[in-house]
Amino acid sequence: MKFLFTATLAALASVVAASPTPTVNIQKRATADDVADIGYATTNGGTSGGSGGTTTTVSDFASFSEAAKGDAKKIIIVDGNLSGEGSVRIGDNTSVLGKKGATITGINLTIKGVKNVIVRNLVLSKVVGGDCITVQEATNVWLDHLDISGDLSVDKDYYDGLIDITHAADWVTVSNVHFHDHWKASLVGHSDSNADEDTGTLHVTYANNKWTNISSRTPSIRFGTGHIYNNYYSTITTSGVNTRMGAIVLVESSTFVDAKRAITSLDSDITGSAEVRDVDLGGSTNDAPEGSFGTVPYEYEAVGAAGAEAATAGAGATLDF
């Protein structure tokens, strides 16, 4: 009996020794000096925000507005719950980071005519008559790990967009964001009549985002180039990805659940096109004209439609600065 027990232990040891070491995916802890490492924001020289600059902590609208001015490198830490009306204009070379639990309610963040801006780890909601985040005439912008919402119980125009990227903005990444409970989520290119300004710009990546209880614009893109991957959609009631006015999008490695017109081309006289790879439509439809997107100028990991839900499990303001 002793010999049998010893032999069994030896056999088990042999199996363990021969087995490969399991791979553990450990996410790097977020820091205030992080630079963009995903999507179009990594191109055109990259997006570093205020990395290496001075750090200011703000807890009210006035101090936030003041700290955001200018083009010097700066890191702004939002601490606590800010609410009110109005807009904070974000200057060049700025990182706006939410401390754990930080919220901004009713206040618009405007990134206009500037470059090199990062916004991360904030809960943003309910800007009456405006967007939660407006990006216009800006380049190299990274919007990451945000929880952003409105209210479906009000009229669809009571609040505007959650994140709108317009007026020839370029080299933008929207990643790890939870969009939820809103009528019109995210618009790229504001008008059918703005071809002269927008054509050749509006390169935007949407990666690892979760969209829940949204009516439309997940996103809607005019004129631009959109790379949409590792996204998970649940309850899209009017339309999902909408490619318009010659826009070309690549939708891949994503899943739709309970979605109406998951991928489409609506509401403009000129359609856009979509190339679709490894997408689970969940019984919905793709009626967008088929396009050939080509390649993107950055490396990325597509998890596949089956992995999209897991890839977005950490979406939202889930970091800890």
* Cα(188)–Cα(162) distance, integer angstroms: 11
Burial class from Cβ neighbours inside 10 Å (0-12, 13-18, 19+) for residue 7 reads exposed
- Is omega for the bond preceding 219 within 30 degrees of 0, making it cis? yes
* Cα(250)–Cα(295) distance, integer angstroms: 9
* Cα(293)–Cα(283) distance, integer angstroms: 24
The CA-based angle 68-40-257, given to 5 degrees, is 100
DSSP 226-247: EEEES-EEEEE-S-SEEEETT-
Per DSSP, helices labelled H in 270-314 are 308-311
Residue 284: closest CA among 306, 254, 307: 254
Length of the chain: 321
Residue 212: closest CA among 150, 297, 169: 150
* Cα(235)–Cα(215) distance, integer angstroms: 8
Q: What is the pLDDT of residue 28?
A: 61
Per DSSP, helices labelled H in 57-166 are 61-67
Q: Quote the DSSP letter at residue 137.
A: S
Q: What is the pLDDT of residue 147?
A: 98
For residues 223 and 202, the answer to whether their CB atoms sit within 8 Å is yes
Half-sphere exposure at residue 51, Cβ-oriented, CA atoms within 13 angstroms:
14
The structure's pTM equals 0.92
What structural domains and CATH numbers belong to the chain?
A: 31-311 (2.160.20.10)
How far is residue 242 CA from its own chain's centroid?
16
* Rg, C-alpha atoms of the chain: 22
The CA-based angle 174-259-186, given to 5 degrees, is 30
The 10 Å CB-count burial string (b at 16+, else e) for 82-117 is: beeeebbebbbbbbbbbbeebbbebbbbbbeebbbb
Per residue of the chain (321 residues), give pLDDT as tens: 333 333 333 433 333 333 333 333 345 689 999 999 999 999 999 999 999 999 999 999 999 999 999 999 999 999 999 999 999 999 999 999 999 999 999 999 999 999 999 999 999 999 999 999 999 999 999 999 999 999 999 999 999 999 999 999 999 999 999 999 999 999 999 999 999 999 999 999 999 999 999 999 999 999 999 999 999 999 999 999 999 999 999 999 999 999 999 999 999 999 999 999 999 999 999 999 999 999 999 999 999 999 999 999 999 999 998
Q: Which residues are catalytic?
A: 217
